[in-house]
Amino acid sequence: MKKLLVILLAILIPSFAYAWDQRPNQPDSVCAAFLPYGKITDTAKHDTTPLCRQGYFIQHDNVAKIALWAAWDITPEHVNGCVKRTNAFVADAALSANKRSTPNDYAGSGYDQGHIANDAHQSWDVQVEFESFLMSNMSPQLPGLNRGIWKLLEGSTGAWTFTRNHTLIIYAGDIYTIGKDKVIGANKVTVPNKMFKIMIDTQTKEVYAFLFPQAENQGNDLTKVQVSVADVEAASGLVFPLPAGADKKAKPALWPVDFKAVAAAKKTLCKGDPGND
Q: Is the pLDDT of residue 38 over 60?
A: yes
What are the CA-CA distances from residue 104 to residues 109, 185, 259 (Å)?
9, 7, 35
| CB 215 within 8 Å of CB 145 | yes
Cα separation, 174 vs 235, in Å, equals: 10
pLDDT digits (tens, 9 = 90+) for 244-274: 999 999 999 999 999 999 999 999 999 865 4
Query: Looking at residue 271, what is its pLDDT?
Result: 87
> Which amino acid, residue 38?
G
Percent of the chain residues past pLDDT 90, beyond the cut: 90
Percent of the chain with pLDDT over 70: 91
Per-residue pLDDT reduced to its tens digit, 163-193: 999 999 999 999 999 999 999 999 999 999 9
**For 97-148, how does the pLDDT look when each residue is reduced to its tens digit (9 = 90+)?**
999 999 999 999 999 999 999 999 999 999 999 999 999 999 999 999 999 9
Rounded Cα–Cα distance for residues 195 and 142 (Å): 11
For residue 210, the SS3 value is: strand
What type of residue sits at position 22?
Answer: Q
**Which structural domains are found in the chain, ordered by start?**
38-276 (3.40.570.10)
Compute how many other C-beta atoms are within 10 angstroms of the C-beta atom of residue 195: 26
Note the pLDDT of residue 272.
Answer: 60
More confident: 94 or 19: 94
Output the pTM of the full model: 0.91
Task: Return the higher-pLDDT residue of 210 and 3.
Answer: 210
Q: What is the pLDDT of residue 20?
A: 83
Query: pLDDT tier at 10 (50, 70, 90 boundaries)?
Result: very low
How far is Cα 27 from Cα 46, in angstroms, rounded to an integer? 20
- Alpha-carbon gap, residue 135 to 114, rounded angstroms: 9
DSSP alpha helices (H): ranges in the chain? 2-17, 103-106, 126-131, 143-144, 150-164, 229-236, 259-270
Residue 231 backbone dihedrals phi, psi, to 5 degrees: -65, -45
